[in-house]
Protein backbone atom coordinates (compact mmCIF):
# COMPACT_ATOMS: atom_id res chain seq x y z
CA UNK A 1 0.00 0.00 0.00
CA UNK A 2 1.68 3.20 -1.18
CA UNK A 3 1.14 6.31 0.95
CA UNK A 4 1.77 9.98 0.18
CA UNK A 5 3.24 12.51 2.64
CA UNK A 6 -0.13 14.28 2.76
CA UNK A 7 -1.96 11.07 3.73
CA UNK A 8 0.59 10.31 6.41
CA UNK A 9 0.89 13.81 7.88
CA UNK A 10 -1.84 13.63 10.59
CA UNK A 11 -0.39 10.42 12.03
CA UNK A 12 3.15 11.77 11.70
CA UNK A 13 2.22 14.92 13.64
CA UNK A 14 0.78 12.79 16.45
CA UNK A 15 3.96 10.72 16.46
CA UNK A 16 6.02 13.91 16.84
CA UNK A 17 3.88 15.07 19.75
CA UNK A 18 4.05 11.76 21.57
CA UNK A 19 7.81 11.46 21.07
CA UNK A 20 8.36 15.19 21.82
CA UNK A 21 10.29 15.72 18.59
CA UNK A 22 9.03 19.08 17.28
CA UNK A 23 12.02 19.47 14.93
CA UNK A 24 11.40 16.24 13.06
CA UNK A 25 10.54 16.82 9.39
CA UNK A 26 8.90 14.42 6.96
CA UNK A 27 10.25 14.47 3.39
CA UNK A 28 9.15 12.90 0.12
CA UNK A 29 8.59 9.21 -0.41
CA UNK A 30 11.74 7.57 -1.80
CA UNK A 31 10.53 4.02 -2.36
CA UNK A 32 7.76 1.54 -1.79
CA UNK A 33 7.02 -2.17 -1.85
CA UNK A 34 4.09 -4.50 -1.30
CA UNK A 35 4.04 -3.75 2.43
CA UNK A 36 5.74 -0.41 2.95
CA UNK A 37 6.40 3.14 1.84
CA UNK A 38 9.75 4.75 2.70
CA UNK A 39 10.12 8.49 3.33
CA UNK A 40 13.02 10.85 3.84
CA UNK A 41 13.21 12.09 7.42
CA UNK A 42 15.44 14.56 9.24
CA UNK A 43 15.76 15.99 12.72
CA UNK A 44 18.06 18.79 11.57
CA UNK A 45 21.20 16.86 12.50
CA UNK A 46 20.82 13.44 10.94
CA UNK A 47 19.50 12.06 7.68
CA UNK A 48 16.99 9.34 8.50
CA UNK A 49 14.39 7.20 6.76
CA UNK A 50 10.89 6.41 7.90
CA UNK A 51 9.51 3.06 6.74
CA UNK A 52 5.73 3.03 7.09
CA UNK A 53 3.88 -0.28 6.96
CA UNK A 54 0.11 -0.63 6.75
CA UNK A 55 -1.58 -3.78 8.01
CA UNK A 56 -4.26 -3.47 5.32
CA UNK A 57 -4.18 -3.25 1.55
CA UNK A 58 -1.71 -6.13 1.10
CA UNK A 59 -2.08 -9.73 0.02
CA UNK A 60 -1.77 -10.91 3.61
CA UNK A 61 -4.66 -10.72 6.03
CA UNK A 62 -4.32 -7.78 8.49
CA UNK A 63 -3.65 -10.03 11.47
CA UNK A 64 -0.91 -11.83 9.52
CA UNK A 65 0.62 -8.50 8.43
CA UNK A 66 0.70 -7.37 12.07
CA UNK A 67 2.47 -10.59 12.99
CA UNK A 68 5.11 -9.95 10.28
CA UNK A 69 5.69 -6.38 11.47
CA UNK A 70 6.10 -7.37 15.10
CA UNK A 71 8.49 -10.14 14.06
CA UNK A 72 10.61 -7.66 12.07
CA UNK A 73 10.65 -5.23 15.00
CA UNK A 74 11.65 -7.90 17.51
CA UNK A 75 14.36 -9.25 15.22
CA UNK A 76 15.90 -5.82 14.70
CA UNK A 77 15.85 -5.14 18.43
CA UNK A 78 17.61 -8.43 19.08
CA UNK A 79 20.33 -7.47 16.61
CA UNK A 80 21.00 -3.90 17.66
CA UNK A 81 24.29 -4.87 19.30
CA UNK A 82 25.97 -5.44 15.92
CA UNK A 83 27.46 -2.52 13.98
CA UNK A 84 26.95 -4.39 10.69
CA UNK A 85 23.16 -4.67 11.09
CA UNK A 86 20.77 -1.82 10.28
CA UNK A 87 19.79 -0.26 13.64
CA UNK A 88 16.16 0.37 14.54
CA UNK A 89 16.16 3.84 16.10
CA UNK A 90 12.45 3.95 16.93
CA UNK A 91 9.22 1.99 16.42
CA UNK A 92 5.71 3.41 16.59
CA UNK A 93 2.32 1.73 16.28
CA UNK A 94 -0.80 3.75 15.41
CA UNK A 95 -4.31 2.22 15.50
CA UNK A 96 -6.26 3.55 12.51
CA UNK A 97 -9.09 1.15 13.38
CA UNK A 98 -8.03 -1.40 15.98
CA UNK A 99 -11.33 -3.27 15.78
CA UNK A 100 -10.53 -4.15 12.17
CA UNK A 101 -6.79 -4.72 12.78
CA UNK A 102 -6.03 -1.61 10.75
CA UNK A 103 -2.70 -0.19 11.95
CA UNK A 104 0.14 1.97 10.69
CA UNK A 105 3.65 1.10 11.86
CA UNK A 106 6.69 3.40 11.82
CA UNK A 107 10.27 2.10 11.58
CA UNK A 108 12.84 4.91 11.99
CA UNK A 109 16.35 4.06 10.74
CA UNK A 110 19.48 5.93 9.61
CA UNK A 111 19.59 6.82 5.93
CA UNK A 112 22.37 4.78 4.37
CA UNK A 113 23.47 4.27 0.77
CA UNK A 114 22.29 1.08 -0.92
CA UNK A 115 25.21 -1.09 -2.08
CA UNK A 116 24.01 -0.95 -5.69
CA UNK A 117 24.16 2.86 -5.62
CA UNK A 118 27.71 2.73 -4.26
CA UNK A 119 28.73 0.29 -7.01
CA UNK A 120 27.24 2.49 -9.75
CA UNK A 121 29.59 5.30 -8.78
CA UNK A 122 32.62 3.38 -7.49
CA UNK A 123 32.60 0.19 -9.54
CA UNK A 124 33.50 -3.31 -8.36
CA UNK A 125 36.95 -4.22 -7.07
CA UNK A 126 38.27 -7.27 -5.29
CA UNK A 127 38.69 -5.20 -2.11
CA UNK A 128 35.04 -4.15 -2.20
CA UNK A 129 33.87 -7.77 -2.57
CA UNK A 130 36.10 -8.94 0.29
CA UNK A 131 34.94 -6.08 2.54
CA UNK A 132 31.26 -6.76 1.74
CA UNK A 133 31.73 -10.47 2.40
CA UNK A 134 33.57 -9.95 5.68
CA UNK A 135 31.14 -7.34 7.06
CA UNK A 136 27.96 -9.20 6.09
CA UNK A 137 29.39 -12.42 7.51
CA UNK A 138 29.96 -10.59 10.79
CA UNK A 139 26.29 -9.59 10.65
CA UNK A 140 25.22 -13.17 9.91
CA UNK A 141 27.43 -14.50 12.69
CA UNK A 142 25.60 -12.17 15.09
CA UNK A 143 22.25 -13.30 13.67
CA UNK A 144 23.23 -16.92 14.27
CA UNK A 145 24.11 -16.09 17.88
CA UNK A 146 20.57 -14.70 18.23
CA UNK A 147 19.19 -17.81 16.42
CA UNK A 148 17.88 -15.69 13.54
CA UNK A 149 17.71 -16.73 9.89
CA UNK A 150 17.60 -13.67 7.60
CA UNK A 151 16.16 -15.47 4.52
CA UNK A 152 16.61 -12.53 2.12
CA UNK A 153 20.32 -11.85 1.62
CA UNK A 154 20.80 -9.95 -1.66
CA UNK A 155 22.53 -6.86 -3.03
CA UNK A 156 19.54 -4.54 -2.47
CA UNK A 157 19.43 -5.41 1.25
CA UNK A 158 23.07 -4.43 1.84
CA UNK A 159 23.84 -0.81 2.73
CA UNK A 160 26.96 1.34 2.97
CA UNK A 161 27.94 3.41 6.00
CA UNK A 162 30.83 5.79 5.36
CA UNK A 163 33.34 6.34 8.14
CA UNK A 164 35.20 9.50 9.13
CA UNK A 165 37.86 8.67 6.52
CA UNK A 166 35.09 8.12 3.92
CA UNK A 167 35.92 4.41 3.83
CA UNK A 168 32.81 2.27 3.37
CA UNK A 169 31.56 -0.25 5.88
CA UNK A 170 28.68 -2.58 5.00
CA UNK A 171 25.43 -3.13 6.84
CA UNK A 172 22.73 -5.79 6.49
CA UNK A 173 19.14 -4.53 6.41
CA UNK A 174 15.54 -5.55 5.70
CA UNK A 175 14.57 -8.18 8.24
CA UNK A 176 10.97 -8.35 7.04
CA UNK A 177 11.07 -12.10 6.33
CA UNK A 178 13.69 -13.02 8.95
CA UNK A 179 12.62 -15.75 11.34
CA UNK A 180 13.65 -17.28 14.65
CA UNK A 181 15.01 -20.61 13.39
CA UNK A 182 14.13 -22.69 16.51
CA UNK A 183 10.52 -21.48 16.19
CA UNK A 184 10.24 -22.69 12.60
CA UNK A 185 8.59 -26.07 12.41
CA UNK A 186 9.28 -28.18 9.35
CA UNK A 187 10.71 -26.86 6.08
CA UNK A 188 11.76 -23.23 5.66
CA UNK A 189 10.64 -21.64 2.42
CA UNK A 190 11.60 -18.67 0.28
CA UNK A 191 11.20 -17.03 -3.10
CA UNK A 192 13.85 -15.36 -5.22
CA UNK A 193 16.88 -15.88 -7.38
CA UNK A 194 19.37 -16.09 -4.50
CA UNK A 195 17.82 -18.66 -2.17
CA UNK A 196 19.47 -21.97 -1.34
CA UNK A 197 18.28 -25.17 -3.07
CA UNK A 198 17.11 -26.72 0.20
CA UNK A 199 14.95 -23.65 0.87
CA UNK A 200 13.53 -23.56 -2.65
CA UNK A 201 12.61 -27.25 -2.40
CA UNK A 202 11.13 -26.88 1.08
CA UNK A 203 13.55 -29.22 2.84
CA UNK A 204 14.17 -29.04 6.60
CA UNK A 205 17.31 -27.08 7.57
CA UNK A 206 18.18 -29.31 10.54
CA UNK A 207 19.27 -26.32 12.60
CA UNK A 208 21.68 -24.99 9.97
CA UNK A 209 21.97 -21.27 9.27
CA UNK A 210 24.09 -21.64 6.12
CA UNK A 211 21.23 -21.14 3.66
CA UNK A 212 21.94 -17.43 4.27
CA UNK A 213 25.57 -18.05 3.26
CA UNK A 214 24.40 -19.55 -0.03
CA UNK A 215 22.37 -16.38 -0.68
CA UNK A 216 25.43 -14.25 0.11
CA UNK A 217 27.50 -16.31 -2.32
CA UNK A 218 24.88 -15.82 -5.03
CA UNK A 219 24.97 -12.09 -4.33
CA UNK A 220 28.74 -12.06 -4.83
CA UNK A 221 28.38 -13.87 -8.15
CA UNK A 222 25.72 -11.40 -9.23
CA UNK A 223 28.00 -8.46 -8.41
CA UNK A 224 31.03 -9.90 -10.21
CA UNK A 225 29.85 -12.10 -13.09
CA UNK A 226 27.42 -12.00 -15.99
CA UNK A 227 25.45 -15.14 -15.19
CA UNK A 228 21.88 -15.55 -14.04
CA UNK A 229 22.09 -16.22 -10.31
CA UNK A 230 20.49 -19.66 -10.50
CA UNK A 231 23.41 -20.80 -12.65
CA UNK A 232 26.17 -19.20 -10.59
CA UNK A 233 27.33 -22.36 -8.84
CA UNK A 234 28.18 -23.87 -12.23
CA UNK A 235 30.53 -20.97 -13.04
CA UNK A 236 33.85 -19.64 -11.85
CA UNK A 237 34.55 -16.38 -10.00
CA UNK A 238 36.64 -13.75 -11.84
CA UNK A 239 40.08 -15.15 -12.62
CA UNK A 240 41.87 -12.05 -11.32
CA UNK A 241 40.51 -12.53 -7.78
CA UNK A 242 42.77 -14.04 -5.12
CA UNK A 243 42.59 -17.83 -4.57
CA UNK A 244 41.12 -17.25 -1.11
CA UNK A 245 38.21 -15.12 -2.36
CA UNK A 246 37.53 -17.48 -5.24
CA UNK A 247 37.45 -20.42 -2.82
CA UNK A 248 35.04 -18.58 -0.52
CA UNK A 249 32.67 -17.72 -3.37
CA UNK A 250 32.64 -21.28 -4.73
CA UNK A 251 32.14 -22.95 -1.37
CA UNK A 252 29.33 -20.56 -0.36
CA UNK A 253 27.19 -21.72 -3.29
CA UNK A 254 27.67 -25.46 -2.85
CA UNK A 255 24.21 -26.93 -3.57
CA UNK A 256 24.71 -29.47 -0.77
CA UNK A 257 24.50 -27.60 2.57
CA UNK A 258 26.80 -30.18 4.17
CA UNK A 259 29.62 -29.11 1.81
CA UNK A 260 29.05 -25.40 2.33
CA UNK A 261 30.54 -23.31 5.11
CA UNK A 262 28.55 -24.17 8.22
CA UNK A 263 29.00 -20.83 9.99
CA UNK A 264 29.61 -17.25 8.87
CA UNK A 265 32.47 -16.95 11.35
CA UNK A 266 34.48 -19.46 9.28
CA UNK A 267 34.43 -17.04 6.32
CA UNK A 268 35.45 -14.07 8.47
CA UNK A 269 38.41 -16.06 9.79
CA UNK A 270 39.40 -17.17 6.27
CA UNK A 271 39.32 -13.62 4.88
CA UNK A 272 41.17 -11.97 7.77
CA UNK A 273 44.62 -10.91 6.65
CA UNK A 274 43.93 -11.51 2.94
CA UNK A 275 45.67 -8.96 0.73
CA UNK A 276 43.56 -7.97 -2.26
CA UNK A 277 43.57 -5.46 -5.08
CA UNK A 278 41.57 -2.23 -4.91
CA UNK A 279 41.75 -1.81 -8.69
CA UNK A 280 38.38 -1.81 -10.45
CA UNK A 281 37.61 -4.61 -12.87
CA UNK A 282 37.55 -2.18 -15.80
CA UNK A 283 39.87 -4.21 -17.98
CA UNK A 284 37.11 -6.76 -18.61
CA UNK A 285 34.27 -5.61 -20.93
CA UNK A 286 31.85 -7.69 -18.83
CA UNK A 287 32.87 -5.81 -15.66
CA UNK A 288 30.18 -3.18 -16.29
CA UNK A 289 27.38 -5.79 -16.35
CA UNK A 290 26.68 -5.81 -12.57
CA UNK A 291 26.78 -1.99 -12.45
CA UNK A 292 24.36 -1.79 -15.37
CA UNK A 293 21.96 -4.27 -13.81
CA UNK A 294 22.18 -2.42 -10.49
CA UNK A 295 21.30 0.83 -12.27
CA UNK A 296 18.26 -0.78 -13.90
CA UNK A 297 17.10 -2.31 -10.63
CA UNK A 298 17.52 1.07 -8.92
CA UNK A 299 15.39 2.67 -11.67
CA UNK A 300 18.22 4.71 -13.17
CA UNK A 301 17.84 3.78 -16.86
CA UNK A 302 19.96 6.70 -18.08
CA UNK A 303 22.97 5.47 -16.11
CA UNK A 304 22.21 1.89 -17.17
CA UNK A 305 22.17 2.90 -20.83
CA UNK A 306 25.53 4.68 -20.46
CA UNK A 307 27.13 1.67 -18.77
CA UNK A 308 25.60 -0.83 -21.18
CA UNK A 309 26.72 1.19 -24.21
CA UNK A 310 30.30 1.21 -22.91
CA UNK A 311 30.26 -2.57 -22.45
CA UNK A 312 28.54 -3.07 -25.81
CA UNK A 313 31.24 -1.03 -27.55
CA UNK A 314 33.90 -3.06 -25.72
CA UNK A 315 32.48 -6.33 -27.01
CA UNK A 316 30.42 -7.69 -24.08
CA UNK A 317 27.47 -9.72 -25.36
CA UNK A 318 25.62 -9.33 -22.05
CA UNK A 319 26.06 -5.56 -22.18
CA UNK A 320 24.78 -5.63 -25.76
CA UNK A 321 21.61 -7.36 -24.55
CA UNK A 322 21.23 -4.87 -21.72
CA UNK A 323 21.89 -1.96 -24.06
CA UNK A 324 19.21 -3.12 -26.51
CA UNK A 325 16.73 -3.80 -23.70
CA UNK A 326 17.30 -0.41 -22.06
CA UNK A 327 17.30 1.44 -25.39
CA UNK A 328 13.90 0.05 -26.25
CA UNK A 329 12.55 0.63 -22.72
CA UNK A 330 13.52 4.30 -22.87
CA UNK A 331 12.67 5.02 -26.51
CA UNK A 332 9.97 2.54 -27.54
CA UNK A 333 8.17 5.23 -29.59
CA UNK A 334 11.36 6.06 -31.53
CA UNK A 335 11.46 3.86 -34.64
CA UNK A 336 15.19 4.34 -35.20
CA UNK A 337 16.07 3.39 -31.61
CA UNK A 338 13.78 0.37 -31.79
CA UNK A 339 15.36 -0.69 -35.06
CA UNK A 340 18.83 -0.39 -33.49
CA UNK A 341 17.77 -2.55 -30.53
CA UNK A 342 16.32 -5.21 -32.84
CA UNK A 343 19.44 -5.16 -35.04
CA UNK A 344 21.72 -5.79 -32.06
CA UNK A 345 19.57 -8.60 -30.70
CA UNK A 346 19.10 -10.22 -34.11
CA UNK A 347 22.87 -10.39 -34.54
CA UNK A 348 23.32 -12.02 -31.13
CA UNK A 349 20.50 -14.47 -31.80
CA UNK A 350 22.21 -15.51 -35.03
CA UNK A 351 25.18 -16.48 -32.84
CA UNK A 352 22.88 -18.71 -30.74
CA UNK A 353 22.43 -16.29 -27.84
CA UNK A 354 19.04 -17.55 -26.63
CA UNK A 355 18.42 -14.70 -24.16
CA UNK A 356 19.00 -12.22 -26.99
CA UNK A 357 16.61 -14.25 -29.17
CA UNK A 358 13.96 -14.00 -26.45
CA UNK A 359 14.39 -10.21 -26.12
CA UNK A 360 14.34 -9.86 -29.90
CA UNK A 361 11.01 -11.69 -30.03
CA UNK A 362 9.53 -9.75 -27.08
CA UNK A 363 10.36 -6.37 -28.61
CA UNK A 364 9.21 -7.49 -32.05
CA UNK A 365 5.87 -8.70 -30.69
CA UNK A 366 5.42 -5.45 -28.79
CA UNK A 367 5.56 -3.38 -31.99
CA UNK A 368 3.99 -5.83 -34.46
CA UNK A 369 0.23 -6.42 -34.95
CA UNK A 370 -0.96 -9.90 -34.02
CA UNK A 371 -1.92 -12.23 -36.84
CA UNK A 372 0.74 -11.00 -39.25
CA UNK A 373 3.46 -13.14 -40.78
CA UNK A 374 6.04 -11.01 -38.98
CA UNK A 375 4.36 -11.67 -35.59
CA UNK A 376 4.27 -15.41 -36.38
CA UNK A 377 8.03 -15.35 -36.98
CA UNK A 378 8.64 -13.59 -33.66
CA UNK A 379 6.51 -16.24 -31.91
CA UNK A 380 8.56 -18.96 -33.60
CA UNK A 381 11.75 -17.35 -32.32
CA UNK A 382 10.28 -17.15 -28.80
CA UNK A 383 9.30 -20.83 -28.92
CA UNK A 384 12.81 -21.80 -30.01
CA UNK A 385 14.35 -19.74 -27.19
CA UNK A 386 12.03 -21.35 -24.63
CA UNK A 387 12.83 -24.88 -25.78
CA UNK A 388 16.54 -23.99 -25.74
CA UNK A 389 16.42 -23.17 -22.04
CA UNK A 390 15.98 -19.38 -21.73
CA UNK A 391 14.08 -18.92 -18.46
CA UNK A 392 12.49 -15.62 -19.57
CA UNK A 393 11.16 -17.25 -22.75
CA UNK A 394 9.90 -20.27 -20.81
CA UNK A 395 7.88 -17.96 -18.57
CA UNK A 396 6.36 -15.79 -21.33
CA UNK A 397 5.78 -18.45 -23.97
CA UNK A 398 4.50 -20.94 -21.39
CA UNK A 399 2.02 -18.38 -20.09
CA UNK A 400 0.85 -17.47 -23.60
CA UNK A 401 0.35 -21.12 -24.51
CA UNK A 402 -1.46 -21.94 -21.30
CA UNK A 403 -3.92 -19.04 -21.71
CA UNK A 404 -4.09 -18.97 -25.50
CA UNK A 405 -2.65 -15.44 -25.74
CA UNK A 406 -0.68 -13.56 -28.42
CA UNK A 407 -2.67 -15.30 -31.17
CA UNK A 408 -1.58 -18.76 -30.05
CA UNK A 409 -3.96 -21.67 -29.80
CA UNK A 410 -4.21 -22.75 -26.16
CA UNK A 411 -2.03 -25.72 -25.31
CA UNK A 412 -2.30 -26.19 -21.55
CA UNK A 413 -0.02 -29.21 -21.35
CA UNK A 414 2.89 -27.64 -23.23
CA UNK A 415 2.34 -24.28 -21.56
CA UNK A 416 2.40 -25.84 -18.10
CA UNK A 417 5.52 -27.82 -18.99
CA UNK A 418 7.39 -24.60 -19.85
CA UNK A 419 6.06 -22.79 -16.78
CA UNK A 420 7.16 -25.63 -14.51
CA UNK A 421 10.64 -25.48 -16.03
CA UNK A 422 10.88 -21.80 -15.08
CA UNK A 423 9.40 -22.52 -11.64
CA UNK A 424 12.09 -25.16 -11.06
CA UNK A 425 14.68 -22.44 -11.71
CA UNK A 426 12.89 -20.41 -9.01
CA UNK A 427 12.08 -17.66 -11.52
CA UNK A 428 9.87 -15.28 -9.48
CA UNK A 429 7.51 -14.15 -12.30
CA UNK A 430 6.55 -17.78 -12.97
CA UNK A 431 5.90 -18.33 -9.28
CA UNK A 432 3.72 -15.23 -9.15
CA UNK A 433 1.77 -16.39 -12.21
CA UNK A 434 1.16 -19.73 -10.52
CA UNK A 435 0.00 -17.94 -7.38
CA UNK A 436 -2.51 -15.76 -9.21
CA UNK A 437 -3.95 -18.86 -10.89
CA UNK A 438 -4.33 -20.56 -7.54
CA UNK A 439 -5.97 -17.48 -6.05
CA UNK A 440 -8.51 -17.39 -8.87
CA UNK A 441 -9.42 -21.02 -8.06
CA UNK A 442 -8.47 -22.17 -11.53
CA UNK A 443 -9.59 -25.83 -11.44
CA UNK A 444 -6.87 -26.79 -13.91
CA UNK A 445 -4.41 -26.48 -11.01
CA UNK A 446 -4.63 -29.25 -8.45
CA UNK A 447 -2.72 -27.96 -5.44
CA UNK A 448 -3.44 -28.30 -1.75
CA UNK A 449 -4.58 -25.37 0.38
CA UNK A 450 -1.22 -25.64 2.17
CA UNK A 451 0.55 -24.89 -1.13
CA UNK A 452 -1.75 -21.94 -1.80
CA UNK A 453 -1.13 -20.53 1.69
CA UNK A 454 2.63 -21.02 1.26
CA UNK A 455 2.69 -19.09 -2.03
CA UNK A 456 0.51 -16.36 -0.53
CA UNK A 457 2.97 -15.98 2.33
CA UNK A 458 6.18 -16.04 0.32
CA UNK A 459 4.95 -13.85 -2.55
CA UNK A 460 3.29 -11.22 -0.40
CA UNK A 461 4.48 -7.85 -1.69
CA UNK A 462 5.88 -9.29 -4.92
CA UNK A 463 4.69 -6.85 -7.58
CA UNK A 464 5.40 -5.74 -11.14
CA UNK A 465 8.50 -3.90 -10.00
CA UNK A 466 9.94 -7.16 -8.69
CA UNK A 467 9.00 -8.95 -11.92
CA UNK A 468 10.98 -6.36 -13.87
CA UNK A 469 13.91 -6.82 -11.46
CA UNK A 470 13.87 -10.61 -11.97
CA UNK A 471 13.88 -10.19 -15.76
CA UNK A 472 16.79 -7.74 -15.60
CA UNK A 473 18.77 -10.23 -13.53
CA UNK A 474 18.03 -12.98 -16.05
CA UNK A 475 19.25 -10.86 -18.98
pLDDT at residue 187 above 60? no
pLDDT at residue 463 above 70? no
* Confidence band for 54, pLDDT divided at 50, 70 and 90: confident
CATH T-level fold of 113-271: Transferase(Phosphotransferase); domain 1 (1.10.510)
**Mean pLDDT throughout 341-351?**
94
Domain 5-110: CATH superfamily, name plus number = Phosphorylase Kinase; domain 1 (3.30.200.20)
Q: Chain-wide mean pLDDT for the chain?
A: 84
pLDDT at residue 87 above 70? yes
pLDDT at residue 85 above 80? yes
HEC secondary structure over the chain: CCCCHHHHHHHHHHHHHHHCCCCCEEEEEEEECCCEEEEEEECCCCEEEEEEEECCCCCCCHHHHHHHHHHHHHHHHHCCCCCCECCCCEEEEEEEEHHHCEEEEEEEEECCEEHHHHHHHHCCEHHHHHHHHHHHHHHHHHHHHCCEECCCCCHHHEEEEECCCCCEEEEECCCCCCEEHHHCCCCCCCCCCCCCHHHHCCCCCCCCCCHHHHHHHHHHHHHHCCCCHHHHHHCCCCCCCCHHHHHHHHHHCCCCCCCCCCCHHHHHHHHCCCCCCCCECCCCHHHHHHHHHHHHHCCCHHHHHHHHHHHHHCCCHHHHHHHHHHHHHHCCCCHHHHHHHHHHHHHHHHCCCHHHHHHHHHHHHHHCCCCCHHHHHHHHHHHHHHHCCCHHHHHHHHHHHHHCCCCCCCCHHHHHHHHHHHHHCCCHHHHHHHHHHHHCCCCCCCCCHHHHHHHHHHCCCCCHHHHHHHHHHHC
Q: Check residue 349 and give its pLDDT.
A: 93
Q: Check residue 6 and give its pLDDT.
A: 80
Q: Check residue 453 and give its pLDDT.
A: 57
* Confidence band for 455, pLDDT divided at 50, 70 and 90: low
Tell me the pLDDT tens digit for each residue of 421-434.
887 777 878 877 87
Amino acid sequence: MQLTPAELLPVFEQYKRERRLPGLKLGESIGFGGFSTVFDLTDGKRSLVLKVISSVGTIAKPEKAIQYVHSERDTMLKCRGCEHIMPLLDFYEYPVNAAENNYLFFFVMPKLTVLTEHIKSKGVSEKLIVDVTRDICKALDYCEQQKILHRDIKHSNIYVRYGADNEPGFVLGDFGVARDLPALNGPVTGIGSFIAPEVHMGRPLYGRYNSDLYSLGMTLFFLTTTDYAAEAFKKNPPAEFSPTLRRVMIRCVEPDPALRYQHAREIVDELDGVTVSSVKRAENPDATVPMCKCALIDKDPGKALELARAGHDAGSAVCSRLYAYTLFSLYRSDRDKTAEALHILRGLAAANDETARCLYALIGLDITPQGTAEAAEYLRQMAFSAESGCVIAQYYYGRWLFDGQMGLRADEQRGMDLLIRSVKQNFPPALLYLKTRLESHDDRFQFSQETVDLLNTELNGFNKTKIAEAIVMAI
